[in-house]
A and B are shown apart, each in its own frame.
Chain A
Amino acid sequence: MARNLNMRIWRGNATDGGLENVVVEANEGEVVLDVIHRVQATQMGDLAVRWNCKAGKCGSCSMEINGRPRLACMTQISSFAEEETITVTPLRAFPVIKDLVTDVSFNYRKAMEVPAYAHPTNLAPGEARMEQVDVERSQEFRKCIECFLCQDTCHVIRDHEENKKSFAGPRFFIRIAELDMHPLDTLRNRKQTAQTEHGLGMCNITKCCSEVCPEHIRITDNAIIPMKERVVDVKYDPLAWLGSKIFKREGIV
């Protein structure tokens, strides 16, 4: 059951651009990325859009659909009313390259600032033993497909370019939390540096990041809040401070 769909697509580049109206055929079961591809193949051969897996696994086709940060490959046309116009725009927190493609290099720079995993020097390959329950906490964060929707929606950077320098963003808070909860990681003080170097303190827990996460990672509840709480403990509690010096490493719980 094909029908005609009204769309508004943002077209332009770093300096200039605007919404263009198109009418495009949509078929049963299609997602927004399908109709964008149809526009590309039939009406706008040079329409720029990123995509890869088309199954919600790679996090490439991030954009804003009717103002909401989403993956185009996981947004069903049928989730909109028949007469509704679908408006697609590039991620707002990042500079536009062209049309729906933005420059997300900010995120890769931030990734390089998080200190890497540190394996115990006395543990040879194959010797590690870990309980499933213990790996699961970090595994939740390792589900992240790096679509950067959480980064896009985060108020700290969305409307405040000046904050980008000192704020890593939700994606990298879960990366730090993941390493912090990793049963084998030996690097200490990850939470403290989250606060002092990656801007954890700037987050005011509005949970927008958790809401847009296509992997349903509980970014705020399971990573940010526990880290914030422990940072406070560690900062003011001399016993916890002493504990962190005595035990091999401090976990989050």
Chain B
Amino acid sequence: MTSIERHEYDVIVIGAGGAGLRAAVEAREANLRVAIICKSLFGKAHTVMAEGGAAASMGNVNEKDNWQVHFRDTMRGGKFLNHYRMAELHAKESPDRIWELETWGALFDRTKEGKISQRNFGGHEYPRLAHVGDRTGLELIRTMQQKIVALQQEDGKKFGSMEANIKVFAELTVTEILKEQGQIAGVYGYWRESGAEVLFEAPTVIIATGGVGKTFKITSNSWEGTGDGHALALKAGANLVDMEFLQFHPTGMVWPPSVRGILVTESVRGEGGVLTNDKYADNEAEADRWYLDQDNNRRPPELLPRDEVARAINSEVKAGRGTEHGGVFLDVSKRLSAEVIKKRLPSMWHQFFELAGVDITKEAMEVGPTCHYVMGGVEVEPDTAAAVGVPGLFAAGEVAGGMHGSNRLGGNSLSDLLVFGRRAGIGASEYAKKANRIPVRESSIKAASERIEAPFSRVGGENSYSLHAELQEITHNLVGIVRTGAELKEAIERIAEIRKRSANVSVSGGRHFNPGFHLAFDLDNMLLVAESTAKSAILREESRGGHTRDDFPGMNSKWRQINHISSFDGSKVNVRAQALPAIPKELYDLFDVHELEKYLTADEIAKGGSK
């Protein structure tokens, strides 16, 4: 190859969301040279949109909270399909990760005693979410962005160049993870601005690319959520675990159409929003009391786990009890004064006022389910975040699987990013220090380069925008919130057809900042993700968390013992069953056995946890 841009690093982090930035900080602190690559500008990743908060059992508001309670809530929320070890590490380490942010300059909202305030969220037994109004994700991103600048300033003083050891490559898309002799050798991609190609050589790659929402028609995710990391991992020989589980957030905006899907944070319910047209709202007196005295009252139905609320709304609307635009009403104006609403939920107020012309201090919001989060993801070793089967590859954040089981609790993602971002940084650093580096072969570079050029060399082929719209229609209608075997079968066939047609996508215009060209690559990733989701979903003949089968409505303990592992053979995704690791005795004993009977088989109960 003539003159492509080349770089050499110790650790490459794909993604500048919470997980990627936290990983990068850790690798740099281990004295390694780190490249951070992201598709958007620095500081704009999806994490910026997170509103409600980060879950950590600091016990600042209710001192009964501790990691054991958080662990229990997480496992219950995930319907016990979580990898127990990830849930354990997450519950134990998230308080330290939040406090650490404070030492980097984060300013969380405070309690009366001056500690970090914590708010209620669905599925969390105690107030647990550290927050900054309803812009917690922004605080997280900005704090870590500024921490990276702080490290760069240190390097500037020491080495005369701020970018000596850590550099951000913003608006650069990775199209391929490169391996040589079975291990990681680097990544290949293009600058979005110029279309010029870039090679990065490094012995370790951390995937922190976030979610897959754009595979669906109605989603809270931005254009970046195209499952790139999921697909890159598959193609590099890694596995995806449990891709059938997608979280449909119960409260997305539904009207006007242009904002359909945009999230209405769950803190609206945490702060006392009432869902009407909803069969649970029959005991408002007790629900009202709960917000003042949580020890002596039962929680209102608005704060049940997301999958349950989403399904409830779905069935209300299907039964004809929805609003004119196919949603239900969510009302905060009844419980809170206008002043309190504007203070605690400022960006929600803003969002509805400016985008829908609705004043939430006076009127109800119209809401309905939106595709929000993917529980499935890269299969990793819990302690190191190493991707199973690919030496040198790591994954953290939403792109990693296992932590949340079949359903994620709100607030558990931001803390997950911090806990496993850090662990991936450590894992990758330890690996990089020992790894022998294998240069990328010219033939690998040539192949990667040809793939980028391909859509330009075709004329009169398929349009990537319309193929994307067709895919979204299929996933929405056939792989959505309620599924059946017949529909999934149809979906698998139709996704395969689109995949065939997508091989013939052509792009108009040049390489220079060309969104049509960018989408051509994103589309390929979304197709692999959709295939993996549909193929996992058709196998799982039960309903659990973010996977609901109309033809198999109940939860079945036998299925709880099974993870679905997706792999890629070069032409299609294959899915197989794999036994879920058994919960060790000391964690098993944290639960009441009668509760466990709901989830585990009689055999498992008889054993009483492993070892």
User: Which residues in A have some Cβ–Cβ distance to B below 8 Å?
Assistant: 13, 27-31, 34, 40-41, 45-60, 74, 76, 97-99, 101, 104, 108, 111-112, 114-117, 119, 123, 125-126, 128-132, 135, 138-139, 142-143, 145-146, 179, 182, 185
Are B109 and A115 in contact, CB atoms less than 8 angstroms apart? no
B452 to chain A, nearest CB (A): 16
Interface residue ranges of B68-124 to A (CB < 8 Å): 95-96, 99-100, 102-105, 107-110, 113-115, 117
The closest CB in chain B to the CB of A109 belongs to: B162
Which single member of B100, B262, B350, B515 contacts A47 (CB below 8 Å)?
A: B515
Residues 587-611 of B, flagged 1 when their CB comes within 8 A of A and 0 if not, give 0000000000000000000000000
* B574 contacts chain A at the CB level, 8 A cutoff: no
In the complex, chain A residues whose CB is within 8 Å of the CB of B262: 54-55
Are A50 and B41 in contact, CB atoms less than 8 angstroms apart? yes
Are A130 and B110 in contact, CB atoms less than 8 angstroms apart? yes
B299 to chain A, nearest CB (A): 26
Are A56 and B222 in contact, CB atoms less than 8 angstroms apart? no
Are A126 and B40 in contact, CB atoms less than 8 angstroms apart? no
* B48 contacts chain A at the CB level, 8 A cutoff: yes
In the complex, chain A residues whose CB is within 8 Å of the CB of B508: 45-46
Which single member of B48, B152, B162, B516 contacts A46 (CB below 8 Å)?
A: B516
Are B104 and A119 in contact, CB atoms less than 8 angstroms apart? yes
Are A45 and B48 in contact, CB atoms less than 8 angstroms apart? no
Are B149 and A76 in contact, CB atoms less than 8 angstroms apart? no
CA distance A60 to B263 in the complex (A): 18
CA distance A28 to B355 in the complex (A): 11
Are B107 and A142 in contact, CB atoms less than 8 angstroms apart? yes
Are B138 and A145 in contact, CB atoms less than 8 angstroms apart? yes
A57 to chain B, nearest CB (A): 5
Which single member of A28, A97, A111 contacts B149 (CB below 8 Å)?
A: A111
* B307 contacts chain A at the CB level, 8 A cutoff: no
**CB-CB under 8 A for A128 and B102, given A97-B193, A117-B146, A145-B138:** yes
* B546 contacts chain A at the CB level, 8 A cutoff: no
The stretch among B176-184, B250-258, B333-341, B414-422 that forms the contact with chain A is: B250-258
A–B Cβ pairs within 8 angstroms, 28 of them: A28-B257, A31-B258, A34-B258, A40-B515, A40-B516, A45-B516, A48-B512, A48-B514, A51-B222, A51-B223, A52-B223, A53-B222, A54-B262, A55-B259, A55-B263, A60-B40, A97-B193, A101-B193, A116-B146, A116-B153, A125-B99, A125-B103, A126-B102, A130-B107, A143-B135, A143-B138, A146-B44, A179-B105
The closest CB in chain A to the CB of B463 belongs to: A45
In the complex, chain B residues whose CB is within 8 Å of the CB of A54: 222, 259, 262
CA distance A196 to B453 in the complex (A): 50
Are A58 and B222 in contact, CB atoms less than 8 angstroms apart? yes
The closest CB in chain B to the CB of A30 belongs to: B258
Are A48 and B107 in contact, CB atoms less than 8 angstroms apart? no
CA distance A58 to B40 in the complex (A): 10
Are B222 and A52 in contact, CB atoms less than 8 angstroms apart? yes
In the complex, chain B residues whose CB is within 8 Å of the CB of A99: 513
Are B135 and A45 in contact, CB atoms less than 8 angstroms apart? no
* B159 contacts chain A at the CB level, 8 A cutoff: no
The 7 A-B residue pairs with the shortest CB-CB distance in the complex, in nearest-first order: A29-B256, A46-B509, A117-B105, A129-B114, A116-B150, A125-B99, A45-B516
In the complex, chain A residues whose CB is within 8 Å of the CB of B117: 132
CA distance A104 to B41 in the complex (A): 9
Which single member of A31, A52, A129 contacts B40 (CB below 8 Å)?
A: A52
In the complex, chain B residues whose CB is within 8 Å of the CB of A130: 107, 110, 114
Are A52 and B224 in contact, CB atoms less than 8 angstroms apart? yes
**CB-CB under 8 A for A74 and B354, given A52-B224, A117-B105, A185-B105:** yes
A213 to chain B, nearest CB (A): 12
Which single member of A98, A123, A129, A143 contacts B115 (CB below 8 Å)?
A: A129
CA distance A132 to B133 in the complex (A): 12
The closest CB in chain B to the CB of A116 belongs to: B150
Are A131 and B114 in contact, CB atoms less than 8 angstroms apart? yes
**CB-CB under 8 A for A129 and B509, given A56-B351, A76-B354, A108-B42:** no
Interface residue ranges of B487-544 to A (CB < 8 Å): 507-510, 512-517
Are B149 and A112 in contact, CB atoms less than 8 angstroms apart? yes
Which single member of B46, B104, B513 contacts A101 (CB below 8 Å)?
A: B513
CA distance A143 to B512 in the complex (A): 33
The closest CB in chain A to the CB of B43 belongs to: A146
In the complex, chain A residues whose CB is within 8 Å of the CB of B510: 46
Are B96 and A46 in contact, CB atoms less than 8 angstroms apart? no
CA distance A173 to B495 in the complex (A): 51
* B49 contacts chain A at the CB level, 8 A cutoff: yes
Are B48 and A142 in contact, CB atoms less than 8 angstroms apart? no
In the complex, chain B residues whose CB is within 8 Å of the CB of A104: 41
In the complex, chain B residues whose CB is within 8 Å of the CB of A119: 103-105
CA distance A115 to B347 in the complex (A): 29
Are B105 and A125 in contact, CB atoms less than 8 angstroms apart? no
In the complex, chain B residues whose CB is within 8 Å of the CB of A31: 258, 355
Which single member of A34, A59, A129, A139 contacts B107 (CB below 8 Å)?
A: A139
Are A29 and B105 in contact, CB atoms less than 8 angstroms apart? no
Interface residue ranges of B439-498 to A (CB < 8 Å): 463, 465
Are A28 and B256 in contact, CB atoms less than 8 angstroms apart? yes
* B132 contacts chain A at the CB level, 8 A cutoff: yes
The closest CB in chain A to the CB of B51 belongs to: A57
* B139 contacts chain A at the CB level, 8 A cutoff: yes
* B437 contacts chain A at the CB level, 8 A cutoff: no
In the complex, chain B residues whose CB is within 8 Å of the CB of A182: 105, 107
In the complex, chain A residues whose CB is within 8 Å of the CB of B46: 52-53
In the complex, chain B residues whose CB is within 8 Å of the CB of A47: 515
* B356 contacts chain A at the CB level, 8 A cutoff: yes
B225 to chain A, nearest CB (A): 10
Which single member of B48, B463, B513 contacts A98 (CB below 8 Å)?
A: B513
